[in-house]
Structure 1
Amino acid sequence: MIIAAAAADAPVGGVAGWAADLMEKLGGPGAGLAIALENLFPPLPSEVILPLAGFTASQGRMDVFAAVAWTTAGSLVGALVLYLLGALLGRDRLIAVASRLPLVKVADVERTEAWFLRHGTKAVFFGRFVPIFRSLISIPAGVERMRLPVFLALTAAGSLIWNTAFIAGGYALGARWHEVTDLVSLYSKAILVVVAVAVVAFLAVRLLRSGRGQRRHSGAAAE
């Protein structure tokens, strides 16, 4: 296997083993395919796949520039699929789904929509540097029908920076490529904690307001 030399420092299995097999069999296109799937299935971590691609390139099994090009192409393909999904879903269906969800108000969706219309270009570009969000941001871009050339350009620019940084780290560290993953895992966990706290706060506010509304309604009915 291409990463046998690193086995002593970082036992390979799971996502890393799967990605390594893809790259060994397909080279650059295998790295691109792995990243395309990572966009569609966020639990597949790019912070594992990309440094591993860099390490593979450092072993002469793949050209480092080809690794950057193929992974960026994979990012574009995955993002485009989610963009088209958002476009097919459309605003009306999104509103209809939101209206049926507990603790979610149509007004919240409309405010989010207004925010995206104001800041969508920045969200699509900078969102490429945020775990989970980097995939999901393509859906509202499709729902709002962001101009496709703009969406693709922003996605390509953000993904090129993200992919190059991780591949370069894996290339430079060689058999210690997993140190990039370890470092970014801390960053990813911090982001997820912030998101989790925000979600809990949102739900708590919603429940509190709902309780107050019910008490007011009960009081008015009693009068």
Structure 2
Amino acid sequence: MDAVLDWVVLVMRTLGSPGVGVATALETVFPPVPSELVLPLAGYTASQGHYGLVPAIAWATAGSLLGALVLYRLGAAWGLERVCALADRIPLMHGRDVRRAVAWFGRHGRTAVFVGRLVPGVRSLISIPAGIDRMPLLRFCVFTTAGSLVWNAALILAGHQLGAQWHVVESYVGPVSNVVYVLLAVGLSVLAVRRLRRRPA
């Protein structure tokens, strides 16, 4: 991870604020690169005078939208039937569960996209069901941009204010990510137990 962060700093210092957009787009498409590290680091780099704070937030939000559109297109390309077929091949999963999830998304799409962009561990993945559901592209862009702007601004401003202590942000956001991952794991475990109980003896 240190090597990744060193590369992120190099990109930001070389390209300026557009480099923040590049880093954020990559972070959106590849969730293992956490935004709770990239964004505060962008704020710290801004505090050193490499670029302005407002351009950093603007470019970060543009990068988030670009990355989200890539995942949206991926979900749209896969389509519901292909994802359901894939789920049917995975032990203890069924295509009907995917259909229920997509149906839920269809009822709460705007809220799911906006709030999802504020939840670590969900921020990137929420774009895939949006693509599967073929959420209107303009609506998807508006709510993705709004949610990303709130998240990006908060973390970049935190890094800017903390300066050399920018990494402290991760110590607060990280536990939230862990809680989300635990909840997802519990949800999957409950689903697996239900599937096992339904199997004929």
1:95 aligns with 2:75: no
Aligned mates of 2:158, 2:64 — CA distance in 1: 18
* Structure 2: gaps spanning 5 or more residues: none
CA positional deviation for 1:92:
2.0
1:206 aligns with 2:189: no
TM-score scaled by length of structure 1: 0.86
For residue 144 of structure 1, the aligned residue among 133, 157, 169 is: 133
**1:4 corresponds to:** none
**1:107 corresponds to:** 96
* Aligned partners of 1:87 and 1:144 also within 8 Å: yes
* Structure 1: gaps spanning 5 or more residues: 1-11, 216-223
Aligned mates of 2:102, 2:49 — CA distance in 1: 47
| Matched letter for residue 21 of structure 2 | G
Aligned mates of 1:120, 1:193 — CA distance in 2: 24
**2:58 corresponds to:** 69
For residues 112-133 of structure 1, give each alpha carbon's deviation from its aligned partner in whole angstroms, at most 9, with x where no partner exists. Answer: 1211111111111100011221
RMSD of Structure 2 on Structure 1 (CA): 1.3
Task: Give the match's secondary structure for 1:44.
Answer: coil
**1:83 corresponds to:** 72
TM-score scaled by length of structure 2: 0.95
**1:124 corresponds to:** 113
CA positional deviation for 1:100:
2.2
After TM superposition, where is structure 1 displaced by more than 4 Å over at least 4 residues in a row? none
1:179 aligns with 2:168: yes
Aligned mates of 1:145, 1:191 — CA distance in 2: 26
CA positional deviation for 1:14:
3.1
For residue 182 of structure 2, the aligned residue among 193, 199, 202 is: 193
- Structure showing greater radius of gyration is 1
CA positional deviation for 1:194:
1.5
| Matched letter for residue 153 of structure 2 | T
Instruction: Calculate percent identity across the aligned residue pairs.
Output: 52
Aligned mates of 1:57, 1:105 — CA distance in 2: 47
Task: Give the match's secondary structure for 1:135.
Answer: coil
For residues 131-152 of structure 1, give each alpha carbon's deviation from its aligned partner in whole angstroms, at most 9, with x where no partner exists. Answer: 2211011111011110000000
* Aligned partners of 1:15 and 1:48 also within 8 Å: no
* Aligned partners of 1:55 and 1:171 also within 8 Å: yes
**1:167 corresponds to:** 156
Aligned mates of 1:109, 1:45 — CA distance in 2: 26
**1:29 corresponds to:** 18
| Matched letter for residue 33 of structure 1 | V
Task: Give the match's secondary structure for 2:22.
Answer: helix
Aligned mates of 1:143, 1:68 — CA distance in 2: 29
Aligned mates of 2:101, 2:42 — CA distance in 1: 36
Aligned residues: 201
Task: Give the match's secondary structure for 1:134.
Answer: coil
For residues 142-196 of structure 1, give each alpha carbon's deviation from its aligned partner in whole angstroms, at most 9, with x where no partner exists. Answer: 1111000000000000000000000000011111111111111111112111211
**1:219 corresponds to:** none
**1:53 corresponds to:** 42
Task: Give the match's secondary structure for 1:136.
Answer: coil
